[in-house]
Amino acid sequence: MSLTYHRTVLASDMARQLLQPGALEQTLQSGLFLSGPRRVGKTTFLKFDLIPELERRGAIVMYADLWAQPQANPADLLITEVRRTLEDLGAPHSALLSRLKAISHLELAAAGFKFGLNLDKLGKPGGTTLAEAITELVDQVRTDVVLIVDEVQHTLGTQQGGDLLFALKAARERVNMRPGTPGRFIFIGTGSHRAQVQELVIRGNQAFQGAESRPFPVLGEDYVQFMLDQSRSQLQEMTPSLGVAFAAFQQLGYKPEELIKAFQALRAADRSVPADTQLPIIVNALKVSTGNIELARLDQLGGLASEVFSRICAAQDATKGLFSARALSDYSHALGRDVSVTDVQSALLALSDANLVMRKDHGRYEVTDPFVKQARRDQLLYRASDSPGLPELGEARRDAE
Ligand SMILES: Nc1ncnc2c1ncn2[C@@H]1O[C@H](COP(=O)(O)OP(=O)(O)OP(=O)(O)O)[C@@H](O)[C@H]1O
Ligand SMILES: [Mg+2]
């Protein structure tokens, strides 16, 4: 189902705070970071509500998703987007310009812009820097430029990612710290891992220290009401009450896809039992199967990946010690074969490719989605209590932490 519930009030409020910050919103000048769990609608909100609203208010918006290609250098993904925007605006019949003219009240030049930049080497050593490109963009177009980086935590843990953040900080300072700048450069980052996004803002050596970090506002009762209205003709007498449906949505981690699955199950359910009685039962079953679906991806990566993943899950925070002698001996014991450091490296690469774990910094790894981590921890605890022969969660935790 591709019905989008538009969050216009939220988008308009956020866009106003970003483009016309009041006295208490000045920290947004250093960047806004929004974090929330997986599949709660972060990207949908950015694409369908926030970006159109920012554009309507006359900003130029660039968007890059660092999960689009997990193995790519984040800087390349972002530079491609900046280059594309500059090339589009510089073209004789700019599509972006026509669109902006149609939706905003911007006074834009009739013809395309002329950027005196060499875009071929944008962001490369000896070439135009990101700061120069963004300054030129703001100066020519004479409006605010917003850069949105989805899954921004992927800049953590690599030199390239760190360099990119500093390049963005340089751009921000170059543009915004000039008296009478014709527009500002505004940075928005979103991510699926609250702690990691938070780290971008609080860590002393990070470029965005002092920026604002907020939890992504999850969908609310109004969305559930919208879904009930949309599904009523199909659910008929199995339509639950708003209170029960909203409680289900909360239980399912505020994830629209899960609510839809629950409604689908209701539609197929025994009609002699009232919807409000059945929905909580369906929700319980779904919660178990959702965690299992994510974890099924893990099974496809093989036994060692699964062992390494469990070890990461056992620790409260990001963990190191995945390559220690003790760890290698545990993996070998569990799999009944010798396991080398290289094997563990390959397993970690496979886990990162599958977006199940991410490297935080040198040698420390964390599960990408805290919900999946919890599901795995539950599974491990359950197994440990079920068969005393298996290593206890506590034991793995002691070693991993
Ligand atoms: N406002 C909305 N109205 C209807 N459906 C929505 C809305 N927001 C999200 N969804 C649905 O929820 C699912 C997840 O949305 P989305 O990809 O935006 O979430 P996300 O938080 O960016 O996820 P990820 O962690 O995978 O990046 C999608 O199927 C999307 O269609
Ligand atoms: Mg997303």
Same domain, 291 and 319: no
Ligand 1 pocket test, pick from 34, 39, 48 with the greatest ligand atom count within 8 Å of Cβ, gives 39
Averaged pLDDT, groups of 10, the chain, 401 residues long: 87 95 82 88 97 94 89 89 92 84 72 78 88 92 94 84 89 91 94 76 70 91 98 96 97 93 95 95 86 82 95 85 93 96 93 79 77 81 58 44 39
Same domain, 47 and 170: yes
Q: What is the pLDDT of residue 396?
A: 44
Q: What is the pLDDT of residue 119?
A: 84
| Domain region containing 181 | 8-215
41 lines ligand 1 (CB under 6 A): yes
Distance (Å) of CA 361 to CA 164, 172, 271: 15, 25, 53
Same domain, 336 and 391: yes
46 Cα to the center of ligand 2, angstroms: 9
Picking from 182, 197, 215, the residue at the C-terminal end of a domain is: 215
> What's the structural domain count of the chain?
3
Cα–Cα distance between 163 and 384 in angstroms, integer? 43
Q: What is the pLDDT of residue 389?
A: 42
Q: Which ligand is nearest to the CA of 44?
A: 1
5 lines ligand 1 (CB under 6 A): yes
In a domain, 1, yes or no: no
In a domain, 102, yes or no: yes
Q: Which ligand is nearest to the CA of 255?
A: 1
**Residue corresponding to tokens 């290609």:** 69
Pairing of strands 212-215, 364-367: unpaired
Same domain, 253 and 151: no
39 lines ligand 1 (CB under 6 A): yes
Q: What is the 3-state secondary structure (H, E, C) of 195-236?
A: HHHHHHHHCCCCCCCCCEEEECCCCCHHHHHHHHHHHHHHHH
39 Cα to the center of ligand 1, angstroms: 5
**302 phi, psi to nearest 5 deg:** 100, 170
- Residues with Cβ–ion distance below 5 A, ligand 2: 42-43
Q: What is the pLDDT of residue 381?
A: 78
37 Cα to the center of ligand 2, angstroms: 10
Q: Which residues contact 30 (CB under 8 A, 6 or more apart)?
A: 172, 208, 210, 211, 212
Helical residues (DSSP H) of 91-241, grouped into ranges: 95-103, 130-141, 159-176, 194-202, 221-235
The CATH number for 317's domain is 1.10.10.10
Cα–Cα distance between 225 and 236 in angstroms, integer? 15
In a domain, 285, yes or no: yes
333 Cα to the center of ligand 2, angstroms: 38
pTM of the prediction?
Answer: 0.81
Same domain, 379 and 282: no
